Amino acid sequence: MAVMPMQRIGIYALKNRRKQILELLQRRGVVEIHAGKADPSVFRQTDTAPAKARFENNTNTLQAALEALDKLEPEQKSLFAALEGRTPIALTRYEETVRSVSETLKTASHINVLWKKCADNRAEILRLETQIRMLEPWMKLDISMRTIGTASTSVFIGSFPEEYTEEALKAKIAEGAPDVDGVVVEVLSTGAQQTCAFILCHAAAGLKLETFLRSIGFTYPAEPSKRPPRERVQHLQSRIEKLQAEIEAAEAEIRTYKALRGALQYTIDYFAMRIEKYDVLGQLWQSAHVFVITGYIPAESAPALEAELTKGYDAYVELEAPDDTEDTPVLLKNNGFAAPVEGVLESYSMPGKKEIDPSTIMAVFYYFLFGMMLSDAGYGLLMVLGCGFALAKFKNMEPGLKKSLKMFLYCGISTVFWGVMFGSFFGDAVTVIAKTFFGADVTIPALWFVPVDEPMRLLLFSFLIGIIHIFAGLGVQFYQLARVGQWKDAVFDVVSWYLLVGGGIVYLLSMQMFADMVSLPFLLPAAVGSAGAIAAGIGALLIILTAGRDSKSPVKRLLKGLYGLYGVSSYLSDILSYSRLLALGLATGVIASVFNQMGAMLGNGPVGVIVFLFAFIVGHTLNLGINVLGAYVHTNRLQFVEFFGKFFEGGRRKFAPFTAKTKYFKITEEK
């Protein structure tokens, strides 16, 4: 349960061992590289940016090829693929991949070329289809669309922006151009706001007719085809077919590379590792024959690595404790009970300097509070079974996911506990089922009490939990201050609040008025109440006198002290904030009951059973989802705001060792 002690490590070795040492460090994954300072007249850093850019380029090529392959031949994935984690692979594959990298890259480029051809062809097909659509109104025409006439005739092929029948068009022409005779009109097609027509007249009258036609909106087609439209369409269609065949051929060829998927993925990982390595390489200080690696290593991993490096790689390793001013990274180590909440802690912040790792104490409260908010044995059981199954079945799961599932497993156990205490199993499912379908009157008795019947009791209990939680936070602050010898601060900042808040609560519990208000089952004797009041008074005085101790001027100190006392309002709101334990706990139970009752509305009988099952499954799934979300968010809030507010600021960064950040495979040790 602690923040792991870190050591600064310096590795000095000959350049001809550089590659091997870097690869070893990457596989061990215990050193965070941090380039220190070095004498620039002897040591230089290499610029690895161009090499990294090249690797990234290769990665992109491979990624694109993989995507194309995935689209055509989707990978067979099970429903739980996300839980399975990366496939472990032996180190020996590394050398194999190195040998075939250029070949795999060539294949990937080829796949990309083919895939691009498919895309281009699809775009071309779309263009051709548009052309065909534009020709559709002219299909009746059996001559070239560009015909303008013969020696003795004038021909007009074009469209009008209106709907005409052949007769109407003829009549219109006869009316508008009466001196042109012998006009032949053939309407090719009519559509909304468009009439395509073929019009023929004697060449002598051509000009006159054209003038009139233009006056009623005649236009020539935008892209007249040279050949008759039908022929043209046939030609276009044959081109589409050809393009389609090309696409199919290219796709079929891509499909043949199905077996190469693994190689592609592995090569992507290979480049990811190299990018990582070159990143480190760029940070190294190198002279003509020697190179230096500096960084941080957890103290417990240091001896093993040191031995390995000095014996196997002729390196000199220097280990020293980092001083206080350094920005050392943080690595947490906890037992199986507390480790799962590390992720939650991390999402807030890693512990700062002088701060302890609060995972263990946080874990206790986390599971407890989560269970109280969800508080249904049925839901808890589902969580336990679901998480337990996943954890047992998928041993190879990624560590982050494993931690989350473990956290929800523990939360589920706590939920079952509270469900039993409050007598809730899928809400009042047992009662409703027994009553509706068996005519029996069964209730699961609550081991403690039923919150809906006695909300006030649960509210008081919630406040009690809140006070314990907040006091535990203050206790951690006391420990943190005392640990570094700041006893005075510990007394002024923690003990004073214990006295004030604790004394105040004791005093409140001895007041008849308060006891009546919240229907308290007991009343503290007046003497205890007075003692509480005195303690609170001492606490308040202590705060007034010491909260402003950093200021020199006595007036300022007093004012700051009074302002410090005002902080009591934040304690009040912090404690009231725990009323959400009641609100969310009741919400789960009551909504579950709503769904049960909705299901039971049709009473007994086959239809009733089906409706009940439907309402039960859908309703409880929904309720479980929403309330797990609510419990998760609000437990986090109570931890982050009310609890951490008392002692935890955080601020350091997480230990980020130099390791192989691969996407598809996990490289296992050769041993």
- Shortest Å distance, C-beta 236 to other proteins: 36
β-bridge mates for residue 292, sequence order: 12, 285
- Shortest Å distance, C-beta 5 to other proteins: 25
Give the Cα separation of 374 and 425 in Å (integer).
Answer: 11
- Shortest Å distance, C-beta 639 to other proteins: 10
- Return the closest-CA partner of residue 467 out of 506, 426, 431: 506
Secondary-structure breakdown of the chain: helix, strand, coil percentages, each rounded to the nearest 5: 65, 10, 25
Residue with smaller CB distance to other proteins, 236 or 584: 584
Binding mask 365-394 for other proteins (x = CB under 8 A): ------------------------------
Residue with smaller CB distance to other proteins, 41 or 347: 347
Give the Cα separation of 611 and 273 in Å (integer).
Answer: 55
Q: Which stretch binds other proteins (CB under 8 A): 110-118, 139-147, 299-307, 589-597?
A: 589-597
Residue with smaller CB distance to other proteins, 22 or 584: 584
DSSP string of 566-600?
Answer: HTHHHHHHHHHHTHHHHHHHHHHHHHHHHHHHHHG
Residue with smaller CB distance to other proteins, 76 or 573: 573
Q: Does 84 bind other proteins (CB under 8 A)?
A: no
Residue type present at position 521? P
Give the Cα separation of 506 and 531 in Å (integer).
Answer: 8
Q: Does 18 bind other proteins (CB under 8 A)?
A: no
DSSP label at residue 301: G
Q: Which of residues 525-584 bind other proteins (CB under 8 A)?
A: 576-577, 579-580, 582-584
Give the Cα separation of 176 and 215 in Å (integer).
Answer: 10
- Shortest Å distance, C-beta 643 to other proteins: 12
Contact 227, 235 (CB under 8 A): yes
- Shortest Å distance, C-beta 68 to other proteins: 18
Q: Of the candidates 299, 307, 629, 656, which one interacts with other proteins according to CB under 8 A?
A: 629
Contact 66, 268 (CB under 8 A): yes
- Return the closest-CA partner of residue 72 out of 262, 254, 260, 259: 254
Q: Which of residues 91-120 bind other proteins (CB under 8 A)?
A: none
Sequence length of the chain is 671
- Could you give the C-alpha distances from 595 to 383, 436, 446, 613, in angstroms and in order? 19, 14, 20, 10
Residue with smaller CB distance to other proteins, 171 or 633: 633
- Shortest Å distance, C-beta 358 to other proteins: 14
Handedness of CA 519, 522, 526, 531 (dihedral sign): negative
Q: Which of residues 26-45 bind other proteins (CB under 8 A)?
A: none
Q: Which of residues 599-628 bind other proteins (CB under 8 A)?
A: 626
Residue with smaller CB distance to other proteins, 350 or 490: 350
Binding mask 447-466 for other proteins (x = CB under 8 A): -----x--xx--x-------
- Shortest Å distance, C-beta 485 to other proteins: 32
Residue with smaller CB distance to other proteins, 348 or 448: 348
234 Cβ neighbours under 8 A, 6+ residues apart: none
Residue with smaller CB distance to other proteins, 207 or 656: 656
> Residues in contact with other proteins, total (CB under 8 A)?
31
Contacts of 49-52 spanning 24+ positions with Cβ under 8 A = 49/282, 51/278, 52/275, 52/278, 52/279, 52/282
Q: Does 437 bind other proteins (CB under 8 A)?
A: no
What is the end-to-end Cα distance of the chain in Å, rounded?
Answer: 30
Q: Which stretch binds other proteins (CB under 8 A): 23-31, 52-60, 202-210, 339-347?
A: 339-347
- Residue 304's H or E segment, with its range, is helix 302-313
Give the Cα separation of 440 and 395 in Å (integer).
Answer: 45
Residue with smaller CB distance to other proteins, 528 or 583: 583
Residue with smaller CB distance to other proteins, 131 or 597: 597
Give the Cα separation of 276 and 279 in Å (integer).
Answer: 5
Residue with smaller CB distance to other proteins, 94 or 394: 394
Q: Of the candidates 144, 310, 360, 597, which one interacts with other proteins according to CB under 8 A?
A: 597
Residue found by looking up tokens 């598809």 in the block: 664
Contact 122, 247 (CB under 8 A): yes
- Shortest Å distance, C-beta 523 to other proteins: 21
Q: Which stretch binds other proteins (CB under 8 A): 58-66, 167-175, 346-354, 468-476?
A: 346-354
Give the Cα separation of 464 and 470 in Å (integer).
Answer: 10
Q: Of the candidates 12, 313, 337, 348, which one interacts with other proteins according to CB under 8 A?
A: 348
- Shortest Å distance, C-beta 495 to other proteins: 29
Residue found by looking up tokens 């019947």 in the block: 453
Q: Of the candidates 290, 528, 568, 594, which one interacts with other proteins according to CB under 8 A?
A: 594
Residue with smaller CB distance to other proteins, 510 or 662: 662
- Shortest Å distance, C-beta 456 to other proteins: 7
Contact 189, 140 (CB under 8 A): yes
Check residue 82 and give left, alpha or beta (phi > 0: left; psi -120 to 50: alpha): alpha
- Could you give the C-alpha distances from 115 to 65, 245, 253, 265, in angstroms and in order? 8, 14, 10, 18
Q: Of the candidates 35, 364, 528, 590, which one interacts with other proteins according to CB under 8 A?
A: 590
- Shortest Å distance, C-beta 225 to other proteins: 41
- Shortest Å distance, C-beta 649 to other proteins: 13
Residue with smaller CB distance to other proteins, 117 or 637: 637
Contact 370, 411 (CB under 8 A): yes
Give the Cα separation of 341 and 336 in Å (integer).
Answer: 10
Residue with smaller CB distance to other proteins, 82 or 171: 82
337 Cβ neighbours under 8 A, 6+ residues apart: 360, 363, 410
Q: Of the candidates 210, 279, 346, 489, which one interacts with other proteins according to CB under 8 A?
A: 346
Residue with smaller CB distance to other proteins, 7 or 662: 662
Residue with smaller CB distance to other proteins, 174 or 641: 641
Residue with smaller CB distance to other proteins, 54 or 86: 86
Q: Which stretch binds other proteins (CB under 8 A): 12-20, 306-314, 342-350, 351-359?
A: 342-350
DSSP H helices, 501-644, are 503-509, 512-517, 526-546, 554-566, 568-577, 579-599, 606-637
Q: Which of residues 631-670 bind other proteins (CB under 8 A)?
A: 632-634, 636-637, 640-641
| Contacts to other proteins by CB under 8 A | 344, 346-348, 452, 455-456, 459, 576-577, 579-580, 582-584, 586-587, 590-591, 594, 597, 626, 629-630, 632-634, 636-637, 640-641
